[in-house]
Amino acid sequence: MGKQLAGQEIGYYSLTLSILKECTPEEAFEIIAPDPDSTTRIRQEQDEDMYLLRRDGIPLKEVAEIFCTTQMTVAKRVERYKRCLG
């Protein structure tokens, strides 16, 4: 019973954090209970790298080429990362 209750509490905390920080529930869960092999963590690190590159003035096209994605995807991920920073 204790584990089940703890799992529910983490879910509630994740949902609350996702609302307050405007992140996805999955991203909020990773903040609360990170998994070292999680792809979400890797994605968050990529988002941070994209943000830093854009902040340093690297054009969207170049950042998109570095991460093998589209300019629109980079723009969305950078914007979401900025919202999570608060």
Question: What is the domain partition of the chain in residue ranges?
Answer: 1-33, 37-86
Phi first, then psi: what are they for 38, rounded to 5°? -75, 135
54: confidence class by pLDDT, cuts 50, 70, 90: very high
Torsion of CA 32, 33, 38, 41, to 10 degrees: 30
Q: How far apart are CA 70 and CA 66, in angstroms?
A: 10
Lowest mean pLDDT among 21-25, 37-41, 65-69: 37-41
Instruction: Tell me the one-letter amino acid at 36.
Output: P
pLDDT at site 1:
34
- Residue 20 pLDDT exceeds 50: yes
Mean pLDDT of 33-60: 87
24: confidence class by pLDDT, cuts 50, 70, 90: confident
Q: C-alpha angle with apex 79: 49 to 84, nearest 5 degrees?
A: 80
